[in-house]
Structure 1
């Protein structure tokens, strides 16, 4: 076996992984009516069940948290039932699966909001992203509405309820989407949070939203079923902070006080979401920076190859590696890495929306339909 470090078992909270090759959460915009998963989604995830762990795509904790057409939610019974079919399919193949729960905050559009008002955020600062309506049209971005203080606790509660519903749907745990300019990240960074109340200003105040959600979810389902994803130094959607090193060291040190299933870090060398495949080789190495400050399992993601993933795990810089785009085009990625077989290229034009094409029709290695 060419990459033995990737095939050692790993304990993550309440589950044991047979390998250290993680399927990263990937927005694919293929949910059905009412933002509920369908049989097509169950087939897609079951095809990739040999991953050490699947982290299912970012899933809205409420209607207010939606941000993309045909992106799934976890706040209605139909959505829970749809996800139950997905987890049953993955578990029947011997897999393990967490759900990433998320709120898009300012990266949404008024057409998604229950009352048709502007999307919400810590402050009235728009992102540097195109806007999309609930029916998929691209529109000018809107300036978000700052959340009133009394509106924050109900959003925290929506994350807690979503975690309970995820367990009801059969997930092995949940991951908090605190990265890539989603609402939690918007509260963390002072480029998007200029509040003067207890959720703004100091780092302690800006961390409050994340830590309240972490504590609420822990009380609901247990810390051993909870992971947190961060994107230190990321700039997606115009997110930024005046002192990101100090901010993220503080966050990681606080999370280290909780017995989480894992911490999941996105590496800065990967290109920003949706903007191509260029690598930023001069970016800071997040796993190396934050590994000494977090004692639990650490997952690193972004732009890894089989070789660099193996080297990173062998060096104990990270405990497992998350692959995204390569899992799209290689449903049997684990098998291919184990045998050191070539990897199929992905088709970026089919990443978002659609049906089977570019979703469930990538052939496994060795298939007579495999073009290699």
Structure 2
């Protein structure tokens, strides 16, 4: 069985190890969603990952509702990403961007007061992060059928921009209760057109977006993230195994580079990971998805290697451990202690808790 530190082919990407950096929202962009200079050393520091997947990046103003998160719909944003991808490449790394439409989880304050959109007229639970603090979500309006090709085009344009920005590929964020997930799950999709009702209809938008992106940059540079097990941000499904195996099978037929499954390795109970009571779905997805399968959430070096040894995963995507440990692959390989991340600085604006986590003494990679 391979180790976490063996190379792997992820579509067109030759990754030197199987310790991938998962997407981590950090809030260091401008208010206009343009990457800033301090993001250059941040991503360069983490270039030893088998593959970096950037923080979730908006495909359009309509789809982005997180303060100081990045976008990829304008020439200014493309230009600001270029020194970041260049720095990663110069440090020997590989980097994908994760493309995001948040759907109903966009507060109207990001839209000039306009109503957010979703599969159906529903409201996300809880409070939104806004530039003026937390505020209740509002009801989204259902996208009209004739509007949906425009959403697909927005993803296609963002993929084209990602290529111009120097990214090696993209990951579609179809997880965590955002727009593509809102279309897939039956408690948030109440449509009666070609995008609602049956499982095949509910995964239609995911399939169309994936095909559009693959047509723009190649299926071998396209990946997808799913979160199949349990309710998240208010979305859930009555038959998740049926739904997500159908989605994985469709993605396998498209021939994407890899599929990332965000499913806790052990029970968790926090804001983004409610306690999971259902059996894991990743093993069933493994049976229908023919490409590399990447698992995410709650793994350490030991449990990550165990997932590879069991044959359940081909690689592991690490989130929070990479936040505080820019040299994570090295630390896992030599058994070095891990830095503890500071939650107070996850989304703050400066270098503290962003650029100042120390490397281990004998790590080769430096920021």
TM-score, normalized by length of structure 1? 0.93
Matched, 1:183 2:179: yes
Q: CA deviation at 1:307?
A: 0.5
Q: CA deviation at 1:285?
A: 2.9
Q: Does the CA contact (< 8 Å) of 1:106 and 1:144 recur in 2?
A: yes
Q: CA deviation at 1:353?
A: 2.6
2:213 to 214, 217, 220: 217
Change (3 A) 1:271 1:86: farther
Question: 5 Å matches for 1:132-147?
Answer: 132-133=129-130, 135-147=131-143
Matched, 1:129 2:117: no
Matched, 1:253 2:255: no
Secondary structure in structure 2 of the residue aligned to 1:204: helix
Q: CA deviation at 1:218?
A: 1.2
Q: Which residue is 2:51 aligned to?
A: 53
Question: How many angstroms apart in 2 are the aligned matches of 1:340 and 1:132?
Answer: 37
2:342 to 321, 341, 347: 347
How many residues end up aligned between the 2 structures? Answer: 361
Question: How many angstroms apart in 2 are the aligned matches of 1:28 and 1:273?
Answer: 18
Q: Deviations over 1:210-253 (max 9, x none)?
A: 11101111111110010010000231111111111111111111
Question: How many angstroms apart in 2 are the aligned matches of 1:205 and 1:91?
Answer: 40
Q: Does the CA contact (< 8 Å) of 1:70 and 1:353 recur in 2?
A: no
Q: Which residue is 1:118 aligned to?
A: 115
Matched, 1:20 2:15: no
Q: Does the CA contact (< 8 Å) of 2:295 and 2:316 recur in 1?
A: yes
Secondary structure in structure 2 of the residue aligned to 1:35: coil
Secondary structure in structure 1 of the residue aligned to 2:98: strand
Q: Which residue is 1:35 aligned to?
A: 33
Q: Which residue is 2:291 aligned to?
A: 296
Q: CA deviation at 1:282?
A: 5.7
Question: How many angstroms apart in 1 are the aligned matches of 2:138 and 2:171?
Answer: 28
Structure 2 unaligned residues grouped into runs of 5+: 363-367
RMSD: 1.7
Change (3 A) 1:273 1:228: farther
Q: CA deviation at 1:129?
A: 2.7
1:307 to 302, 307, 312: 302
Question: 5 Å matches for 1:79-228?
Answer: 79-113=77-111, 116-133=113-130, 135-228=131-224
Q: Does the CA contact (< 8 Å) of 1:30 and 1:41 recur in 2?
A: yes
TM-score, normalized by length of structure 2? 0.94
Change (3 A) 1:186 1:126: same
Secondary structure in structure 2 of the residue aligned to 1:31: coil
